[in-house]
Structure 1
Amino acid sequence: MKKYDIIVIGGGSGGLTVASGAASLGAKTALIEKRDTLGGDCLHFGCVPSKAFIEAANEVHAAKHIQDLGIETSGKISLKAVNDRVRQAIAHIQEHDSIERFEELGVDVYNGKATFKNDHEIDIEGQESLYGKRIVISTGSSPMVPPIEGLDEVDFITNESVFTMEQLPEKMTFIGGGPIGLELAQAMSRLGSEVTVIEAGPTLLGKEDQDIQKQAQAILERELHVVTGASVQRVRMENGKKMVYYSVDGEETSIASDEIFLATGRTPNSGSLQLDNAGVETDKKGFISVDATLRTNVGHIFAIGDINGTLPFTHVAGEEGKLVVQNALYGLSRKMSYDYMPWNTYLTPEVFHVGLTQQEAQEKHEEVLIYTNQLEEVDRFVTDQSYEGFVKIITDTKGKIVGAHAIGTGAGDWMQTVVQAMAEGNKIGDLSNMVYPYPNHAEAVKRTADQYWRNKLFSGPVQQVSSLFLKWFR
């Protein structure tokens, strides 16, 4: 039996971060991945393919609306060609996540299904068992299939199958209105499908600031048919169509589609690990319980990424991986903080989020200050003809930023300055004092932050004292 300082189960973003970091620090490292390739869901079914897919859809959308410049377009979209481009993007990035690269770093890579034999030993299907002083679980999550009547008798699409499609459906119904579903629903609509989104919650994007929710939904409703507060009762095949029966306020309605896309959340990939053999505890949904140091209830076993049920984002898994390398190899107890962890929903326009929403901030703090700015007041967005959206920055009474939100083209890029400011403990006034080369998109942040100084300097006691001084000064 081979013995390792650390065994990593799962070759996604978090697992690769731990494996490469541990090996680089001289630890004898094993990485177990059930697939034949590394990269995890992000590379093969999530971030990478979806963004390539969305970019193609946006190009089609732009081409359809280029008539304003006197150019006419025609033709039918080839979904196969779109997904060929998706696979090219995956293949290009796969080179950085290749097994050979990690073996060159000193990682022993094993392909196969991993199960716990006990709290230190891991069985790999068809191979020898491994012993690990420390073990990191990073097996991610999969699309959740809800218990909807008839769903097991009707073919449906998820983010794991959409990128193999070759024919564009005329009509699609998305069950679920979370970020994954909405990104792909908008993309499908822009490619030419007639799309309906059925969401159980009262609004789309339920974790976002309420003002962001309202504007995002209003924009999406121009391209999609959106139904909120809906409960899906059953699905079935009728006359060659996939029927979805749902009720709103007790009234049942049905919709016919060529394809059904499930976007009802994620479920952790923990069921096959035989965690009971190691004594590792999970919650009722199967997510592995961890403390702030990302340790499970078994002190030498850690869990990172989607599997621990915190924030299901690739960059979060990567940050957790960095922390775990230190805690696992050196016995440290550094704690993971999510206070300044941003996320971005890649709709058009994009939706950016970091920190508290206005509602959360008002519940947590006695008093908060709200600074907003419309993108139509920012020259670069006007010249780009993409000025729909706004910025909102939330601070305490001393100017400390507790939350920031935006909806606008490229928001995930130009709002990054706010993330840096929050992480460094800078106040909103510091964002105003930065120099922004004109005309750029980040001026949206500056114009929002400028309001802090206008309120501070041009009203109240400072303005009164200045007026008295100017009357006296000759």
Structure 2
Amino acid sequence: MTEAINVDVAVLGGGPGGYTAAFRAADLGLSVCIIEQQKNLGGVCVNVGCIPSKTLLHAAAILEEAKDTELMGISFGETNVDLGKLRDHKEKTITNLTSGLDALCKARKIIKVQARGYFQDKNTLKIEGTGGQLVNFKHAIIATGSHPYSLPIAPDDTRIWDSTEALNLSSIPEKLLIVGGGIIGLEMAQVYSALGSEITIVEALEQVIPQADKDVVQPLLKKLKKEYRIFTKTKVTEMQAQKAGIQVTMDGTKAPESEIYDAVLVAVGRKPNSHEIGLEELGLQVDEKGLIPVNEHMQTIFPHIYAIGDIVSGPMLAHKATHEGKVAAEVIAGHKVSFLPMTIPSVAYTNPEIAWMGLTEKEAKAKNIEYHVGKVPWIVSGRAQSVGAANGVTKALFDKKSGRLIGAGICGVNAGELIHEAVMALQMGATVKDIVNTVHAHPTLAETMAFAAELVDGTITDMLPQRKR
């Protein structure tokens, strides 16, 4: 049997939350072992998620922009895509990042084990396929991430994809059906549409990107309806593999009853990887969604065992996981810290982008919170007009009693960058007056957040003020 590894902290999983926790723990003087079954650190996000998808989305945006510039009198001629080079660029981007993570891991003298690990007891992890090697720990951080949902009705066929397979760019189907109108589905729709696929999107709920307010999604939807077929309040009821493609039967008022597609992307959400890691050996129960309950210090019912990222409650986002990972490492090192963010921003990297944070309007109504809303169409923005981005909107919600910002949503170019002013404002307890009195550079897209506050404040000059209620 291989000699056991003895460390202060064992981290199970090397995604954004896991490697961040490991790196922070090492920086705080703790001995660390990170167990990751894949060759590279980075998890889904770096290897088969956020990074490759954003790389391909950038390429898709360039293709779209090349067409749009004709309206300004600039023509680049017929565009040509070398799929092999595009795949190589995506892989090079991933390699650059993962090699950087490996270098940071080695520099911190972290023990990295490439294998599957599972709990043998409350102070021991067993490493699969290594002759029974054990990792003895004083503290453990579970960061095993999540995996895509699959549809039980889907046959076993290479033409039915999950998000990982879609990012491989193995082929460009003539007709692509995307089941799920959330962020992943719409992002992949943009990539494949730009590369020549005819896109159909099926969403069971009444709108695409259902987490965001409908009026924030509207500018994107207005554009997409011209480019894709979109069926909301529609479900896929049957899939059959045929020689000509995947025959799909749907149930929806306006949807075709049955149609054949060259490929089908299933993008209906993700499930936590809390199974087959030995939680039963610990006596650690998961909830009905497979999530591990934790407190604000990221501790499970066992104070020396922590859980972070997609396997605990909250949005399945890399930036949430990294902050949770830092909190877990710092608590282990004796720091008095908690994970109690005022908000966690969400971004759909579509064209135009959609970003939101805090309460949506529908959430505020459901909680009976009285609020004022300022909504600014980007057509009033000089910057948006000049760069051909007038199809956008900025929306901000302020508590009626305190005047504090409680939520915001943006649809437009660089919304994912712009939303962070609102995130900081909410985190710091900023009021409508605070935002109004913050001088914003002109002409910028960021001005639209100031305009939204000025609408509520009644001091706007770039639009007619709202009628007094």
Is the 1:151–1:234 contact (alpha carbons within 8 Å) kept by the matching residues of 2? no
Residue 392 to residue 70, structure 1, CA distance change in 2 (3 Å): closer
Q: Which residue of 1 aligns with 2:128?
A: 125
- From the CA coordinates, give the structure whose radius of gyration is larger: 1
State the shift of 1:299 in Å. 2.2
- Residue from 29, 47, 51 that aligns with 1:48: 51
How many equivalent residue pairs?
458
State the shift of 1:331 in Å. 7.3
Of the structure 1 ranges 369-378 and 207-216, higher mean CA displacement relative to structure 2 is found in 207-216
Classify the secondary structure of the residue corresponding to 1:222. helix
- Matches of residues 374-413 of structure 1 in structure 2 within 5 Å? 374-397=377-400, 398-413=402-417
RMSD of Structure 2 on Structure 1 (CA): 2.3
Q: Distance in 1 between matches of 2:252 and 2:372?
A: 37
Q: Distance in 2 between matches of 1:201 and 1:453?
A: 35
Q: Distance in 2 between matches of 1:163 and 1:180?
A: 11
- Residue from 353, 368, 372 that aligns with 1:369: 372
Q: Which residue of 1 aligns with 2:152?
A: 147
Q: Which residue of 1 aligns with 2:451?
A: 447
State the shift of 1:358 in Å. 1.0
Is the 1:392–1:406 contact (alpha carbons within 8 Å) kept by the matching residues of 2? yes
- Matches of residues 323-362 of structure 1 in structure 2 within 5 Å? 323-330=327-334, 332=336, 334-362=337-365
State the shift of 1:210 in Å. 2.6
For residue 30 of structure 1, what is the amino acid of its counterpart?
A: C
Q: Which residue of 2 aligns with 1:282?
A: 286
Question: Is 2:46 the counterpart of 1:24?
Answer: no
State the shift of 1:365 in Å. 4.5
For residue 298 of structure 1, what is the amino acid of its counterpart?
A: F
Q: Which residue of 1 aligns with 2:296?
A: 292
State the shift of 1:177 in Å. 1.2
Classify the secondary structure of the residue corresponding to 1:276. helix
Is the 2:244–2:260 contact (alpha carbons within 8 Å) kept by the matching residues of 1? no
State the shift of 1:80 in Å. 2.8
Residue 78 to residue 158, structure 1, CA distance change in 2 (3 Å): farther
State the shift of 1:228 in Å. 1.1
State the shift of 1:338 in Å. 4.0
For residue 176 of structure 2, what is the amino acid of its counterpart?
A: M
Question: Is 2:104 the counterpart of 1:101?
Answer: yes
Q: Distance in 2 between matches of 1:251 and 1:55?
A: 31
Question: Is 2:268 the counterpart of 1:268?
Answer: no
Q: Which residue of 2 aligns with 1:254?
A: 258
State the shift of 1:201 in Å. 1.2
Give the TM-score of the pair, scaled to structure 1.
Answer: 0.91
Classify the secondary structure of the residue corresponding to 2:247. strand
Q: Distance in 1 between matches of 2:27 and 2:367?
A: 42
Is the 2:124–2:137 contact (alpha carbons within 8 Å) kept by the matching residues of 1? yes
For residue 155 of structure 2, what is the amino acid of its counterpart?
A: L
Of the structure 1 ranges 237-246 and 127-136, higher mean CA displacement relative to structure 2 is found in 237-246
Q: Distance in 2 between matches of 1:455 and 1:446?
A: 10
Question: Is 2:92 the counterpart of 1:88?
Answer: yes
Q: Which residue of 1 aligns with 2:82?
A: 78
Is the 2:119–2:278 contact (alpha carbons within 8 Å) kept by the matching residues of 1? yes
- Residue from 153, 165, 176 that aligns with 1:172: 176
Is the 1:186–1:223 contact (alpha carbons within 8 Å) kept by the matching residues of 2? no
Question: Is 2:203 the counterpart of 1:199?
Answer: yes
What residue ranges of structure 1 are gaps of 5+ in the alignment?
464-474
Q: Distance in 2 between matches of 1:325 and 1:380?
A: 43
Alignment deviations for residues 362-412 of structure 1 (CA, whole Å, 9 cap, x no partner): 333542111111111111001001111111110112310110111111011
Classify the secondary structure of the residue corresponding to 2:39. coil
Q: Distance in 2 between matches of 1:250 and 1:352?
A: 29
State the shift of 1:264 in Å. 1.1
